[in-house]
């Protein structure tokens, strides 16, 4: 009989071609599966809650897998980390119910997108933020972001090339623009929702930056939702500013 194990992971996505296994590139999923092979001797496939893109980071990715190993669920954390590189860490592990699924059971996800708004980019945020030189009107950006709240058809915020989806309707529960470190000229876009389309957060970030630069009006978000027209929005923001912060489940945490 196999046990289902749930993991919460953090990783620096700089050196990886995203989460999902690919034929000709190194991915986070591939590296974790290789570590599981060394630890258990089993060829294990893991499923992640979010298929983060190349260069995107995570502090709260969740994944699950099935194993015949007798290692207790809570011990996989320390055991796996001995086989993982330092830019991928298992933060916690637990035995899950047999029907738990890291992706399909998730009820909400939170992402953070960081912008370095300064004439000169901060060296420490080279792989952690999008450097935007022109001063941004954060009041205009906040006004535009208000239109994201609620359940909408976000077809205009989906990039081509993603996995097919049955619906482009999503619910955004919370969106906030934070100034965590004025001395370092950082601006964080924090957004929580029931789920996100392919590149949705990066398209939102790029559109809000263009609003802040005065290149787009504050009502552009509502226009995009109403018309489903991607061309009305700003660019897709680069990946390095994006972090998957958390994935939540009905019981408030890992199963």
Are 61 and 247 a contacting pair, CB within 8 Å?
yes
**Tally: H helices and E strands in the chain:** 5, 10
Please say whether the beta carbons of 6 and 64 come within 8 A: yes
Residue of 12, 53, 153, 219 marked catalytic: 53
What is the distance between the alpha carbons of residues 201 and 80, in angstroms, rounded to a whole number?
Answer: 31
53 is annotated as an active-site residue: yes
Nearby residues of 206 by Cβ (< 8 Å), 6 or more positions away: 233, 234, 235, 236, 237
d(CA 131, CA 186): 9
Continuous segment of H or E residues that includes residue 91: strand 88-96
Give the whole-angstrom CA distance, residue 7 versus residue 66. Answer: 11
Shortest CA distance to 61 belongs to which of 24, 27, 23?
27
Kindly state the helix (H) or strand (E) to which residue 81 belongs, with its residue range: helix 76-81
Q: Could you give phi then psi for residue 210, rounded to 5 degrees? A: -65, -35
Residue 182's CB is within 10 A of a number of other CB atoms, namely 8
CA atoms in the 13 A half-sphere facing the CB of 232 = 17
Tokens 């912008």 appear where?
Answer: 115
Backbone angles phi, psi at 227, to 5 degrees: -95, -15
Q: What are the catalytic residues?
A: 53
């Amino acid at each position: 009989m196999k046990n289902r194990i749930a993991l919460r992971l953090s990783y620096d996505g700089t050196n990886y071609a995203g989460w999902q296994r690919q034929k000709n590139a190194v991915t986070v999923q591939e590296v974790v599966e290789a570590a599981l092979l060394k630890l258990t001797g089993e060829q294990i496939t893991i499923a992640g809650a979010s298929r983060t893109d190349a260069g995107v980071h995570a502090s709260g990715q969740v994944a699950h897998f099935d194993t015949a190993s007798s290692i207790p669920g809570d011990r996989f954390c320390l055991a796996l980390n001995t086989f993982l590189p330092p830019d991928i860490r298992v933060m916690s592990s637990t035995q899950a119910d047999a029907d738990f699924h890291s992706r399909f059971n998730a009820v909400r996800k939170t992402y953070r997108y960081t912008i370095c708004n300064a004439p000169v980019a901060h060296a420490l945020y080279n792989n952690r933020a999008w450097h935007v030189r022109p001063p941004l009107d954060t009041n205009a950006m906040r006004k535009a972001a208000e239109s994201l709240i609620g359940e909408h058809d976000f077809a205009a915020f989906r990039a081509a090339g993603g996995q097919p989806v049955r619906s482009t309707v999503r619910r955004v529960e919370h969106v906030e623009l934070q100034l965590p470190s004025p001395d370092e000229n950082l601006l964080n876009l924090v957004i929580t929702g029931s789920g996100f389309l392919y590149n949705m957060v990066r398209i939102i970030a790029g559109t809000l930056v263009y609003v802040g630069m005065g290149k787009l009006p504050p009502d552009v978000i509502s226009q995009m939702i109403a018309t489903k027209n991607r061309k009305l929005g700003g660019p897709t923001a680069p990946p390095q500013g994006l972090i998957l912060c958390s994935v939540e489940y009905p019981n408030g945490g890992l199963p």
